[in-house]
Chains A and B, each alone.
Chain A
Amino acid sequence: MDKRTSEAEAVAELRDGMTVGIGGWGSRRKPMTIIKEILRSSVKDLTIVSYGGPDVGMLCAAGKARKVVYGFVSLDSIPLEPNFRAARQSGTIEAMEVDEGMLQWGLRAAAMRVSFLPCRAGLGSSVMDINPDLKTVRSPYADEELVAMPALPLDVAFIHANRADVRGNGQYLGADWYFDDLFCMAAKRRFMSCERIVDTGDFLKEGSEQTLKINRMMTDGVIEAPGGARFTTNPPDYQRDEELQKEYATTPWEEFGPRWLSL
């Protein structure tokens, strides 16, 4: 079994209007070489589901995103994402904005193949007003009304791991794998980039079995992409390139984009 592929081959599977989930969190462990390839492609009108960081900002700036589903979009060390802000403020994208726990619930519902999961988050807040399609559900067991968070099924998911094997197993050596497993389980097609492809037998030299967060049932393609999350963090391989991120955040996209794509 050999699932090795390239960013270009993975992105070639995208069609206009697809729903794309992107792993990581804020400006942390984003599959940036895959994002670059989407930016280079002609695909458009994507719905992006993400714990948003520069992935969302760039896809908005480049006109690839028609809609974004998110709980927040932030660069972490730079709290506000400039390109996402510009897109929201000029009204060039649609938005589904929910609590960050609701986003997890939507992915989990899709992964479980149920149409919704009940949750308390959202009740009382503007989440219920700004998402008029959101419904509540009454408990059949108690006097309780909860939000029915709809499943967020994905056409394609992209994630970035520290290590992977050619069979599509993925290893996370940092302290948090965020919700990458749920993104894969919510998606029809799943692509994982990684810092380094290792022999399957070498996984346990890198970290304990508990670092094997992605198994090969969850992936269709593996892409070896050293530095593939830059400029976002990917510990222990590297920290965030704060200088480059700052440059991204302070340079107009028309100027930064072409320069970044050539890096």
Chain B
Amino acid sequence: MTTGGTRAEVCAVACAEAWRGDGEIVASPIGTIPTVGARLAFLTFAPDLVITDGDALMTAEPLPVGAGPDHPRAVEGWLPFGKMFDVLWWGRRHVMMGATQVDRFGNQNIACIGPWEKPKAMLLGMRGGPGNTVNHPTSYWVPNHSPRVFVEHVDCVSGVGYDRVPKGAFHEIRVVVSNLGVFDFDTPDHSMRVRSVHPGVAVDEVVEATGFPLTVPSDVPETRLPTDEELSLIREVIDPKGLRDAEVKAA
């Protein structure tokens, strides 16, 4: 049964859906709402997923987001960074990263704005984007969908998109989830397509907030609503402090 939920909760469920069918692999969410999503997927339709405390420990029960270091953990395994890198090369991982810029073919930038040689704004650097995107599935989460984020060309390619896939790479950009909708690359040339818009969002609004031409199917579905079970898990178990609302404002 579905009854609604806030925009943040719709986004969390859309993030959870990214891991559906992945089986026994590590879910590596970056950011609050992807973390809520991964833990929700684990508690509902993807119980084989491996989830972590956001640090080096695999947990058999999800921690609430924002839990401090002293919060008890149901530890079932150990993945310090060296081991996580092994898993990454091995391919048993699906990461959901942020994106300061993402383009039509799913190239992602978290490194810098402006020319790399002397950036206008230095950001994080490449981080794991180059390795993630050629070794295992990658998705992106964008809490502030705008033409400044969804750009024609990214200034620097951290995560590799569909127009730059190297031969032999294990490359898949699964979905981009934003505060407005869900996007995939299920088109003949792997350019970005609207998969669904969140309840209350018009397709035109999405097109306007995107800095390149999106493929828009004639019938764009609405992103599914959280079920009652999902809502209570989000509100009572995974994010009782409501940290999700700091990432996406109520629509």
User: Which residues in A have some Cβ–Cβ distance to B below 8 Å?
Assistant: 25, 52, 70-74, 79-80, 84-85, 88-89, 91, 97-102, 104, 119-127, 129-130, 143-145, 175-179, 235, 239
Cα distance A153–B163 in the bound complex, in angstroms: 35
What would 17 more interface pairs be, CB under 8 Å, given A72-B125, A124-B164?
A71-B126, A80-B123, A85-B122, A88-B118, A89-B122, A97-B111, A99-B128, A101-B131, A120-B89, A122-B131, A123-B160, A123-B166, A124-B166, A124-B169, A124-B171, A175-B57, A178-B82
B45 close to chain A: CB less than 8 A: no
Contact with A along B9-39 (1 / 0, CB 8 A): 0000000000000000000000000000000
Measured between alpha carbons, how far is A25 from B82 in the docked complex, in Å? 12
Residues of B within 8 Å of A, CB-based: how many? Answer: 45
17 A-B pairs (CB sep. < 8 Å): A70-B125, A88-B112, A88-B122, A89-B122, A100-B128, A100-B131, A102-B130, A120-B170, A121-B135, A122-B130, A124-B130, A124-B157, A125-B129, A144-B168, A145-B166, A175-B55, A175-B57
Please pick, from B56, B116, B171, the residue contacting A126 in the complex, using a CB distance under 8 A.
B116
Q: Which residues of A have CB within 8 Å of B88?
A: 101
Residues in chain B near residue A74, CB distance under 8 A: 124-125
Closest-CB distance, A112 to chain B (whole angstroms) = 15
CB-defined contacts of B158 to chain A, threshold 8 Å:
125-126
CB <8 Å contact, B124 and A121: no
| Contacting pair A235 B69 (CB below 8 A) | yes
Cα(A102)–Cα(B124), bound, Å: 16
Contact residues, B123-169 vs A (CB, 8 A): 123-131, 133-135, 156-160, 164-169
Q: Report if A71-B127 is in contact (Cβ < 8 Å); known contacts: A120-B134, A126-B111, A239-B69.
A: yes
Check if A126 sits within 8 Å of B122, measured CB to CB: no
Task: State whether A73 touches B124 (Cβ < 8 A).
Answer: yes
Closest to B127 in A: A72
Chain A: minimal CB distance from B129 (Å): 7
Within the assembled complex, what's the spacing in Å between the Cα atoms of A74 and B156? 18
- The interface of chain B, by Cβ under 8 A from chain A, is 55-57, 69, 78, 80-82, 85, 88-89, 111-112, 116-131, 133-135, 156-160, 164-171
Which chain A residue lies CB-closest to B159? A125
Closest 10 CB pairs of A and B: A121-B131, A125-B130, A123-B166, A175-B56, A124-B160, A176-B80, A72-B125, A99-B130, A88-B122, A85-B122
Contacts of B168 in A (CB 8 A): 120, 143-145
**Nearest-Cβ distance from residue B102 to partner chain A, whole angstroms:** 14
Closest A residue, CB atoms, query B80:
A176
With A70-B125, A104-B82, A145-B167 already in contact, the answer to whether A120 and B118 are too (CB < 8 A) is: no
CB nearest neighbor in B for A182: B82
- For B121, what are the chain A residues with a Cβ–Cβ distance below 8 Å? 85, 89
Q: In the complex, what residues of B have CB within 8 A of residue A88's CB?
A: 112, 118-119, 122
Of chain A, the residue at the smallest CB distance from B170 is A120
Write the nearest CB–CB distance from B123 to chain A, whole angstroms: 7
In the complex the two chains form, is A121's CB within 8 Å of B134's CB? yes
From B57, B85, B126, B164, give the contact of A97 (CB < 8 A).
B126
- Give every chain B residue within 8 A of A73 (Cβ-Cβ): 124-125
Tell whether, in the assembled complex, residue B125 and residue A124 are in contact, meaning their CB atoms are under 8 Å apart: no
Instruction: Name the distance in Å between A248's Cβ and chain B's nearest Cβ.
Output: 17
Which listed residue (B78, B116, B126) contacts A99, Cβ 8 A?
B126
Given A104-B85, A175-B55, A99 contacting B129 (CB threshold 8 A): yes
- Contact between B82 and A72, CB atoms less than 8 A apart: no
Say how far A105's CB is from chain B's closest CB, in angstroms. 9
A179 touches B82 (CB 8 A): yes
Q: How far is the CA of A104 from the CA of B84 in the complex (A)?
A: 12
Chain B residues with CB below 8 A from A85, complex form: 121-122
A260 to chain B, nearest CB (A): 22
B35 to chain A, nearest CB (A): 15
Known contacts A124-B157, A125-B158, A176-B81, A71 near B128 by CB under 8 Å: yes
Partner of B135 from the list A97, A98, A120, A177 (CB cut-off 8 Å) is A120
* Complex alpha-carbon distance, A176 and B80, angstroms: 5
Nearest Cβ on chain A to B37's Cβ, whole angstroms: 20
Shortest CB distance B73–A (Å): 10
